[in-house]
Structure 1
Amino acid sequence: MLLRLSRLREDIPALLKLAGPLLVGQLAVIAFGVLDTAMTARYSADDLAALAMASAIFISVYVGLTGVVSALAPIAGQLFGAKRYDEIGEEVRQAIWLAILLSLFGALVLWNADLILDISQVSPEIHAKASLYMHILVLGLPASMAMRVLIALHNAVSRPTIITIVQLIGLAAKFPLNYLFIYGAFGIEGMGGPGCAVATVIINWLWLLITLWIVIAGRFYKPFALFTRFSKPDLHRIGVMLRLGMPIGFSYLIEVTSFTFMSLFIARLGTEALAGHQIVANIGTVIYMVPLSLSIATMTLVSQSIGANQQSKAEQIGWSSVFFTTTACAVIGLTAWFFRTELLNLYDPPEEVKQFAVPLFLFIAFYQIFDALQVSAAFILRAYRIAFWPMLIYALSLWGVGLGGGYLLGFNITGNVPLALQGASGFWAANSLSLGVAAVFLLYLFKRTAIRFQKTHPPVLV
């Protein structure tokens, strides 16, 4: 451990150099959802309800698909570390074929999402608006999936700043485009909530065109020979990506659905409980961008070290990141606890909602520690191209311990749950525990994997 701590001075600046732009980009993407919600809320309550339903369905589909494509990042990262630059171009071309295939599948699901909407039994007006929203997003799905390929490439080669700049350009265009298509102007009739989808589709294609221009014209990308030749689908390479990417995508889906069902269960406790939970969950989502950005940066550096056959360095970077990320998130969690009143006042909820929300901030303080541990370990394992076992760990912990335990505590199923752990607090406590369980197993898996790699991939003596 002394050796690992001594490396913090070297490892942390490298992590922060990559994680800083990633964090800004992640916050820019979150701002998209904030703008959509705030601007649609001013149009009508029905449009806001339709947006909420359609967004939940779309995000569940989208994160699963993008998780599959994100397998390119550790693959290309290892190739970059090994200086096998020409192979990166081939992997990117195969990832684009995979993105096209996934876009067709996603379009099929979104176009037939009426079957999911029927379960909610909402009014025909809300149903129609939500359906239109998803049908519009189908038009932007190919651009969005192709963009995810280019994002994975830039993360793999330590160039996240390019993507962040492009995302900020999109954010700048989001407000005027939203205004144009939600409320109407210049002869264009306002569409309400579905107008957000039109704006998003335009920005998705704008992002792709700008990034393609940068990649084609930039001197840095020449060694990769990305688009100098045409490649037919290579079933072997695509199969490798699927074997790594499908568990990653399913892991994303588990994370999203665990929080979705948590909200649905808490909704049974009343409007005030759900509103308080949503506020705290929103704050938690913003904070989560910190460990997520650091973890993506860690995956990049670890995968590059593995590709360069520097197995000891890869492990040391991993442990440095676990230590630093967890410490930073613990500080952020405690800060959120001490300033809980000020944070709540930013949302200006009714007093009864505040009463439900305040106790949940205690869980944010502890939640951040476990969340930082598990997400760091998960992304390190992806650098080693290990995703199947983490997927199983997530399923058992988040669905089993988190949702199952939350249900038992929140609704006092056994009849002897302390009052402090009933209601929304019970769900947050169980969710925190589930992340702690996941962290223990993922960190153990990382340690075992690092030892195995150092035995099976000894350094080449020159």
Structure 2
Amino acid sequence: MAHSADNNSTSSSGHSWQDIRHETTAIIRIAIPAILAQLAQMSLGVIDTLMAGNYSSNALAAVGTGFNAFMIIFSLFMGLMMAINPMVAHFNGQGKMDSIGKTFQMGMFLAVIFGIITFILLRNVDPILYLLGVEDAIVETTSGYLKALSWGCVFAFLFIALRSGNEGLFSTKIVMFCSFMVIPFNLLFNTWFIYGGLGVPAMGAVGVGYATSVVWTLLFLFLLFFTWRNPSFASLNIFKKIRWPTWALIKEFFSIGTPMSLGLLMEVSMFGMIGILVARYGVDLTGAHQIAMNIATVAFMVPWGLSIAITARVGYWMGRQDYRQMRLSGFCGIGTSLFFQAVSVAIMLLFRYQLVGVYTDDQAIIEISASLIFLAAIFQLSDGLQVNSAGALRGMKDTKIPTVYMAIAYWFIGFPVGIYLADYMDLKVKGFWIGILVGLTVAAILLLGRFIHRSKQTLAFAEASRS
């Protein structure tokens, strides 16, 4: 199949520089389209934030608060869908083409169920926002934004199901292409729905929600078409006949995906909860936080895209039962990520005022945002290390213990530190960002240590079994 990889010969003494260069090149070749796809998808959120901010401060705060609330719910199911990548990668390594097709279909079946549940939840978040002390004016607009957003949830999950399957087969260029295709549509529908025209009333932040729903639908339809037309996937029988998912496949999906879902939820909910709690400090601090978080998230797309490639490569070598190559793949990916994160740190430190200036000309918001980006630059290395160590562990289908580590790092250390500094030391937004830095650093140490231990243990067991 077009997605296979050459198996390098290795000696018991270790890998040559040629081996390292070959594996690093293979990861980068998969990762670059994945990174660009993530950046394109992230740009949709940046466009939403920019256009909402230009409309009004209330719209900016509502979109920021609403999206944080949405991500807490969305990440629970998105983490489950991420299990498709390592499952497909393992089947690819084993040469089980029919199982790959069944996994694609199972993913789309579950995507519809998850989308309907998310639709219902997004339309009933008002009491929680009031309970958390979010200002009444922001709650009203946020509620309208989330209800508009809810209409696209089924299509968003269908897109993620297809995306994860493609990524497991190293087919990241198709995802990249579709992601860039929808950017003009995002600009068009945002402008139309935010400011009104052609019979559509001006809807402000609510218009951003409707525009996002349309874009999610288009993303799915584009990726569906290109996946269907991809000649490399013909042997997978993804669309030729409908096959109900088997219990064994569903059981494996939830066994891998549930810890991944909880782990992602631990991280995203920490960021999301902080975003919601920041809304207690008023429009200016909320807007500044949203801008800085937007910039930090754009930077995060590079290690996130790399983690997709690492999961696929590690999963492929696990399927081939080449554990020495699997271990090399994980370390090459993590090392590559650290290099790119160092570049990201330099850019954010040197150009933080210019970056913030793209979003707003309000000097008070610029100063606050720039100070937050300084903290964001510091945690770039930790963020890259933790997400790519987690990606390597996902490729090994090792997801349960990493979830415990994430719970400890984010909710037992990072978030309490943030609360203490923000509310008790009166650092407010900066206190929360210091808490994020602490949580990510602890997660990076624990997850990297886990991959080093598990990969070494797996290799040693395999070599002992052969002797």
Instruction: Give the TM-score taking structure 1 as reference length.
Output: 0.88
1:448, distance to aligned residue in structure 2 (A): 2.1
Question: Which of 297, 304, 311 is matched with 2:323 structurally?
Answer: 311
1:240, distance to aligned residue in structure 2 (A): 1.5
Deviating more after overlay: 179-188 vs 307-316: 179-188
1:66, distance to aligned residue in structure 2 (A): 1.2
Question: Which of 431, 434, 437 is matched with 2:436 structurally?
Answer: 431
Give the corresponding residue for 1:418.
none
**Residue 443 (1) aligns with residue 448 (2):** yes
**Residue 394 (1) aligns with residue 406 (2):** yes
CA RMSD of aligned residues (A): 2.9
The whole-number CA distance in structure 2 between the counterparts of 1:98 and 1:295 is 23
The whole-number CA distance in structure 1 between the counterparts of 2:212 and 2:282 is 33
Aligned residue identity for 1:223: S
Paired residues for 1:48-63 under 5 Å: 48-63=60-75
Aligned residue identity for 2:407: A
Question: Which of 154, 159, 162 is matched with 1:150 structurally?
Answer: 162
**Residue 175 (1) aligns with residue 193 (2):** no
Instruction: Give the TM-score taking structure 2 as reference length.
Output: 0.87
Other structure's SS at 2:44 match: helix
1:128, distance to aligned residue in structure 2 (A): 5.1
The whole-number CA distance in structure 1 between the counterparts of 2:391 and 2:164 is 13
1:280, distance to aligned residue in structure 2 (A): 3.3
The whole-number CA distance in structure 2 between the counterparts of 1:43 and 1:292 is 31
The whole-number CA distance in structure 2 between the counterparts of 1:259 and 1:117 is 15
1:289, distance to aligned residue in structure 2 (A): 1.0
Question: Which of 203, 207, 210 is matched with 1:191 structurally?
Answer: 203
Deviations 1:57-95 (A, max 9, x none): 222211221111110100001111222111101111222
Aligned residue identity for 2:49: T
Label 1:391 to 1:205 Cα distance change in 2 as closer, same or farther (>3 A).
same
Contact kept, 8 Å, 1:312 with 1:454, in 2: the verdict is: yes
**Residue 161 (1) aligns with residue 161 (2):** no
1:361, distance to aligned residue in structure 2 (A): 4.6
Give the corresponding residue for 1:329.
341
Label 1:16 to 1:178 Cα distance change in 2 as closer, same or farther (>3 A).
same
1:304, distance to aligned residue in structure 2 (A): 0.9
1:351, distance to aligned residue in structure 2 (A): 4.7
The whole-number CA distance in structure 1 between the counterparts of 2:139 and 2:352 is 37
Contact kept, 8 Å, 2:75 with 2:261, in 1: the verdict is: yes
Contact kept, 8 Å, 2:102 with 2:245, in 1: the verdict is: no
1:385, distance to aligned residue in structure 2 (A): 0.9
Label 1:117 to 1:281 Cα distance change in 2 as closer, same or farther (>3 A).
closer
1:310, distance to aligned residue in structure 2 (A): 1.2
Deviating more after overlay: 145-154 vs 38-47: 38-47
Contact kept, 8 Å, 2:134 with 2:279, in 1: the verdict is: no
Other structure's SS at 1:385 match: coil
Paired residues for 1:232-243 under 5 Å: 232-243=244-255
Deviations 1:324-380 (A, max 9, x none): 211221232133223334434444555555554555454334311111111111011
% identity of equivalent residues = 25
**Residue 363 (1) aligns with residue 368 (2):** no
Contact kept, 8 Å, 1:318 with 1:380, in 2: the verdict is: yes
Question: Which of 50, 54, 60 is matched with 1:38 structurally?
Answer: 50
The whole-number CA distance in structure 1 between the counterparts of 2:191 and 2:285 is 32
Paired residues for 1:5-24 under 5 Å: 7-24=19-36
The whole-number CA distance in structure 2 between the counterparts of 1:305 and 1:459 is 18
Other structure's SS at 2:241 match: coil
The whole-number CA distance in structure 2 between the counterparts of 1:202 and 1:221 is 27
Label 1:307 to 1:368 Cα distance change in 2 as closer, same or farther (>3 A).
same
Other structure's SS at 1:213 match: helix
Number of residues of Structure 1 aligned to a counterpart in Structure 2: 454
Label 1:329 to 1:45 Cα distance change in 2 as closer, same or farther (>3 A).
closer
Aligned residue identity for 2:350: F
1:224, distance to aligned residue in structure 2 (A): 0.8
Label 1:198 to 1:154 Cα distance change in 2 as closer, same or farther (>3 A).
same
Aligned residue identity for 1:385: K
Aligned residue identity for 2:310: T
Paired residues for 1:111-150 under 5 Å: 111-119=123-131, 127=139, 129-150=141-162
The whole-number CA distance in structure 1 between the counterparts of 2:427 and 2:393 is 35
Deviating more after overlay: 123-132 vs 215-224: 123-132
The whole-number CA distance in structure 2 between the counterparts of 1:291 and 1:91 is 26
Label 1:384 to 1:397 Cα distance change in 2 as closer, same or farther (>3 A).
same
Give the corresponding residue for 1:28.
40
Other structure's SS at 1:158 match: coil
Deviating more after overlay: 255-264 vs 341-350: 341-350
Label 1:194 to 1:451 Cα distance change in 2 as closer, same or farther (>3 A).
same
The whole-number CA distance in structure 2 between the counterparts of 1:224 and 1:131 is 42
1:271, distance to aligned residue in structure 2 (A): 6.5
Label 1:423 to 1:205 Cα distance change in 2 as closer, same or farther (>3 A).
closer
The whole-number CA distance in structure 2 between the counterparts of 1:49 and 1:267 is 8
1:112, distance to aligned residue in structure 2 (A): 2.5
Give the corresponding residue for 2:9.
none
Contact kept, 8 Å, 1:22 with 1:164, in 2: the verdict is: yes
Aligned residue identity for 2:34: L
Aligned residue identity for 1:407: I
Label 1:410 to 1:111 Cα distance change in 2 as closer, same or farther (>3 A).
closer
Flag structure 2 segments of 5+ consecutive residues without an equivalent.
1-12
The whole-number CA distance in structure 2 between the counterparts of 1:358 and 1:36 is 20
Give the corresponding residue for 1:408.
420
Deviating more after overlay: 87-96 vs 107-116: 107-116
**Residue 254 (1) aligns with residue 266 (2):** yes
The whole-number CA distance in structure 1 between the counterparts of 2:419 and 2:402 is 24
